[in-house]
Every structure is written in structure tokens, then in C-alpha cells.
């Protein structure tokens, strides 16, 4: 049965994003992924007595950048707090986080929904350090611990309970990942854990204003899993309530092998983290000057750039959206249109042949060797009628990418320039007329539509090199 008329779903997401700094939040240990276990650790990471942490300024700047990208209010008076708890992956016995003064407050992220664009309200974005990693599948008798990740800088982006379907949650995480990548504060790589999501889900009867009891599904490591976990939870909760049960406050985990969730902690124990201001780090104030510098360093955000492409270059929404999926793509386009004024063709080439070539060869624009001005040269030859589009995209473009030579050189070397030499054109045209006497007779009786057939035939015998405009007028002339 469909219960969507009876129940409303409410979701709040907590996204942890690993900041793309080279060193950790409070010391110089490297943050790079995949190193041998426990090689990126120092006495500071391990919290040895007497060690003194220092705040990584770049991490603070990155958190502020994300706050600006999400329209947050930036907190100017900050301090770090200790969140005390015991867990084997937490070498110090406490996590340094922010408590009463998250660095970014409020704000929103705009998502696309079936009903149009909507702002999802944020509660806060705060800075904190990551914990280490427990590894359970190396030794059957022991849990192994890798502290390389301990102390790596994270931001936690927390929404209000302001998402109302699994699809909206999917859109939201997609948008957050795009934003962190766009402004360069996180690589957004969910498989490596640079971006992780906890989903808080509850249901309530339609019309009810009080929130229902929530469950929290921890550590979702792909956008698909965020959606699947929420879909499963919605079904589970509705079935539970419909059969007379009550949702219990729980922490749950997602099982990707069958898209289900299972309880890992019943009823959140009333945690007492004994927060207090971290005594080894002084509170820090953010000056207007610093905030201005950061603001000025922000790239144009994707939503604004999309509007700019539509307004300035006359692109349609679809083309502009495709170009604004990643910053590298947009940067390439921006550079391309500084070398051509045929904006529509530039967009078509990027969203068509270029994207196709890149997909086939698993390339991306951030490591793409073909200079935009070279591509503009190819567009120009097509625009001037010296090359036909299909030859340009299928035969010249790949060679340009592979050799770096310019379009005109390749076209000449491979003898692919369109022929406008009248002798050669005439030979092809005469050949076609001789080959198709019946069609020629029909044409002469008035079936003028056959001209397309003759032009196509000339195109074939010339292997695409005959200039179709010249061929058409030559044919018309000869068949008069």
C-alpha cells in the first residue's frame, strides 16, 4: 500500500567533509590517503602529555569558504572545545571540536526538486578533527588501529530537519559534493571517505507539527547509499507504526549488500561529553580583513555562473547546466569562449564530441591537454565551411588531442579539408548524375526533393570532402 498520503518523512543530514589541506588540523602530520598504517602520526596526533597543538590556518580558511558558499553567518569569535569520550580509535581520549560557537551558522544549500529549486536550511558548519580507523577484518582475534586519520581536519555540515524525501537527500548531498569540489576545500571522494554522511530520519502523520522520533543511519559512503538507506528506513518505520509499534530512537548502520539497515545502538544513551574549552589552544578571532580576503578569493559559484552563461552567451539551461557540473569544465568553457564568439558551437562541442571522447578515454578537464585556443581553431574551420562537422569531430579532434598539432595542419596532412576546387567537384557531380539516370529524370519532371539524394551521393563519393553548398548549386545548375 502507498502510505505517502498518510505520513510525512523528515530528514536532517550531517555531512563530514575532509578538508583538502596537506597537514592535519593541529600539527604537521600529512593527511594523504592510503599511506602505510600509523606512519602519519606524531606525539601531537597521539596526544602525548606536554605536546602543544597549533591550529592549521588553511583549515580555518577552508571552513569559512564553505560557510560563504552556503550563505552562512561567519562567527568571528571562536574557540575549540574538547569532546571527551573513550573509544579505541580516539588516541587522546577526546576529540577537539567546536561546541557553542560553530564557525558558520545558519545558511542554506539550494537543491533542484521536481517542484523547482528550494533552499535547504543549514543549522551550522563546524570544524573538528577526525578520529583514527578501526580495522576488524585483518585479524580474527584483534581489532587493528590505524591513527593516520586521527587529527585530519573535517568540517561537519549540519542541516535543519528540512529534507522531505530520499530524493531530496540525494540532491542535497550531490549539491554539497559539487560545492566543496568547486571551491576546492575537499576532494569530495566518498569511496576514500573524504565525504561521509549520517542520515537522521523520522516520520510523522501528515499535518502533525511535532517531529517524530528519529533514527540516525551512520557513515553512508556514497550518494546512492544515502538514498537507499533512507528509502529502507521510511518503509521500515511505516510498517512498524502501521502494525502498532513505535519507532525507537536508535543509531543504525547500512548494509550495502542488501540495501537494508540494522541497529547498532539502542536508544542514544544520554551522552555526557563534558565539553570544555580546549586549554592548549587559544581562542581565535577572525578579522574583517581576513574575511574580506577569503571572500575575494572565492570563485563564481556554479549557480551564478550558470545564469551568467545563459545571459551572456545565450546558452539554454540544459547546455549551461552541463558546463557547470564541475569547475574544471566551466573553466575550460570560459577559456574557450575567449577564443571564439560562436558560443553555441563552443557549448555543443564541449557537451558533445569532447565529453564523449573524455568518457571513452576516462579523461577529465582538470588534466586535459588540448589547449582551448587549439579547439577554437577547429571550430573556426568548421564555421568557415573548410571542414565538415563529422570529419572534424571524428577524425581531427582525436588526432589533435593525441598529438597537440593544430587543426589546419592535421586537416592538410590527412587531406581532409573540404574541396571547393570546381574541377574536382564537377567530376564528382557528373559521376553521380551519370550513375542515377532514373532519379535525374524524376527530378527533371519536378521531384525537386531529390536534390538531397544527389548531394548525399556526392558527399559519399567525396568521402565528406565536397563542400555541400557548392555541390548543391552545381547540381541545380546542371539539372536545370
Rounded-to-5 percentages of helix, strand, coil across the chain = 40, 20, 40
To the nearest whole angstrom, how small is the minimum distance from the Cβ of residue 9 to ligand ADP?
9
By CB under 6 A, tell whether 83 contacts ligand ADP. no
Q: Name the 3-class secondary structure at 339.
A: coil
Task: Give yes or no for residue 203 binding ligand ADP (CB under 6 A).
Answer: no
Q: How many residues belong to the site for ligand ADP (CB under 6 A)?
A: 15
Q: How far is the CB of 389 from ligand ADP (least distance, A)?
A: 50
Q: What is the dihedral of CA 171, 177, 178, 181, to 10 degrees?
A: 180
Q: How far is the CB of 234 from ligand ADP (least distance, A)?
A: 12
C-beta closer to ligand ADP: residue 91 or 212: 212
β-bridge mates for residue 195, sequence order: 17
Number of H helices, E strands in the chain: 17, 17
Q: What are the residues whose beta carbons fall under 8 Å from the beta carbon of 90, sequence distance 6 or more?
A: 131, 132, 150
Report residue 242: phi and psi, to 5°: -65, -30
14 binding ligand ADP? (CB under 6 A): yes
Single residue of 11, 90, 127, 179 touching ligand ADP by CB under 6 A = 11
By the rule CB under 6 A, 31 interacts with ligand ADP: no
**Closest to ligand ADP by CB, 216 or 457:** 216
Q: What is the footprint of ligand ADP within residues 158-177 (CB under 6 A)?
A: 158-161
Burial class (CB in 10 A: 0-12, 13-18, 19+), 164: middle
* CA–CA dist 35, 210 (Å, integer): 47
**Shortest spacing between CB 325 and ligand ADP, in angstroms:** 26
Report d(CA 184, CA 327) in Å as an integer.
9
Task: Kindly state whether residue 261 participates in binding ligand ADP, applying the rule CB under 6 A.
Answer: no
d(CA 399, CA 419): 21
Residue 51 C-beta: closest distance to ligand ADP, Å: 30
Q: Could you say which of 35, 144, 211, 277 contacts ligand ADP (CB under 6 A)?
A: 211
Between 125 and 320, name the residue whose CB sits nearer to ligand ADP: 125
300, 294 Cβ separation under 8 angstroms: no
Quick one: which of 55, 97, 202, 250 contacts ligand ADP (CB under 6 A)? 202
**Among 7, 10, 340, 396, contact with ligand ADP (rule: CB under 6 A):** 10
Using the rule CB under 6 A, is 458 a contact of ligand ADP? no
- Smallest distance from ligand ADP to CB 90, Å: 17
Distance CA 71, CA 67 (A): 6
Given candidates 83, 92, 214, 228, which one binds ligand ADP under the rule CB under 6 A? Answer: 214
Is the distance from CB of 21 to CB of 58 less than 8 angstroms? yes
Q: Does 196 bind ligand ADP (CB under 6 A)?
A: no
Instruction: List residues binding ligand ADP (CB under 6 A).
Output: 10-14, 158-161, 200-202, 211-212, 214
Amino acid at each position: 500500500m502507498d502510505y505517502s498520503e498518510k505520513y510525512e518523512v523528515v530528514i536532517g543530514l550531517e555531512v563530514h567533509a575532509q578538508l583538502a589541506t596537506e597537514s592535519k588540523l593541529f600539527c604537521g602530520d600529512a593527511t594523504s590517503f592510503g599511506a602505510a598504517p600509523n606512519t602519519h602520526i606524531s606525539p601531537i596526533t597521539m596526544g602525548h602529555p606536554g605536546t602543544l597543538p597549533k591550529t592549521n590556518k588553511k583549515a580555518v580558511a577552508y571552513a569559512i569558504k564553505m560557510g560563504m558558499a552556503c550563505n552562512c553567518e561567519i562567527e568571528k569569535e571562536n574557540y575549540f572545545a574538547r569532546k571527551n569520550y573513550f573509544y579505541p580509535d580516539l588516541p587522546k581520549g577526546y576529540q577537539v571540536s567546536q561546541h557553542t560557537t560553530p564557525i558558520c551558522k545558519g545558511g542554506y544549500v539550494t537543491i533542484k526538486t521536481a517542484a523547482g529549486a528550494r533552499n535547504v536550511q543549514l543549522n551550522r558548519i563546524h570544524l573538528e578533527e577526525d578520529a583514527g580507523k578501526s580495522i576488524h577484518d585483518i585479524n580474527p582475534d584483534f581489532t587493528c588501529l590505524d591513527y593516520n586519520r586521527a587529527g585530519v581536519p573535517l568540517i561537519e555540515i549540519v542541516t535543519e530537519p528540512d529534507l522531505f524525501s530520499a530524493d531530496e537527500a540525494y540532491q542535497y548531498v550531490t549539491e554539497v559534493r559539487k560545492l566543496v569540489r568547486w571551491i576546492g576545500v575537499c576532494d569530495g571522494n566518498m569511496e576514500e571517505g573524504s565525504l561521509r554522511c549520517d542520515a537522521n530520519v523520522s516520520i510523522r502523520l501528515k499535518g502533525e507539527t511535532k517531529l517524530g522520533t528519529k533514527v540516525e543511519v551512520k557513515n553512508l559512503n556514497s550518494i546512492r547509499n544515502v538514498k537507499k538507506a533512507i528509502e529502507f528506513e521510511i518503509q521500515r518505520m511505516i510498517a512498524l507504526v502501521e502494525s502498532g509499534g513505535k519507532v525507537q530512537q536508535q543509531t543504525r548502520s547500512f548494509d550495502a549488500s542488501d540495501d537494508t539497515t540494522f541497529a547498532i545502538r539502542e536508544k542514544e544513551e544520554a551522552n555526557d561529553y563534558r565539553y570544555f574549552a580546549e586549554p592548549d589552544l587559544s581562542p581565535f578571532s577572525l578579522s574583517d580583513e581576513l574575511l574580506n580576503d577569503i571572500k575575494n578569493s572565492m570563485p563564481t559559484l556554479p549557480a551564478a555562473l550558470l545564469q551568467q552563461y545563459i545571459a551572456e552567451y545565450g546558452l539554454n539551461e540544459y547546455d549551461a547546466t552541463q558546463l557547470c557540473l564541475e569547475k574544471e569544465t566551466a573553466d575550460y568553457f570560459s577559456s574557450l569562449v575567449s577564443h571564439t564568439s560562436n558560443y553555441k558551437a563552443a557549448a555543443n562541442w564541449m557537451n558533445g564530441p569532447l565529453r564523449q571522447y573524455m568518457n571513452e578515454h576516462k579523461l577529465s578537464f582538470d588534466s586535459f591537454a588540448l589547449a582551448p585556443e587549439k579547439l577554437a581553431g577547429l571550430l573556426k574551420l568548421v564555421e568557415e565551411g573548410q571542414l565538415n562537422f563529422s570529419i572534424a569531430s571524428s577524425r581531427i579532434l582525436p588526432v589533435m588531442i593525441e598529438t597537440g598539432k593544430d587543426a589546419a595542419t592535421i586537416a592538410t596532412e590527412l587531406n581532409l579539408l573540404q574541396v571547393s576546387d570546381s574541377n574536382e567537384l564537377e567530376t564528382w557531380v557528373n559521376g553521380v548524375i551519370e550513375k542515377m539516370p532514373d532519379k535525374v529524370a524524376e527530378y527533371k519532371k519536378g521531384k525537386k526533393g531529390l536534390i538531397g539524394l544527389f548531394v548525399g551521393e556526392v558527399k559519399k563519393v567525396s568521402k565528406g570532402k565536397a563542400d555541400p553548398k557548392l555541390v548543391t548549386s552545381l547540381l541545380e545548375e546542371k539539372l536545370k
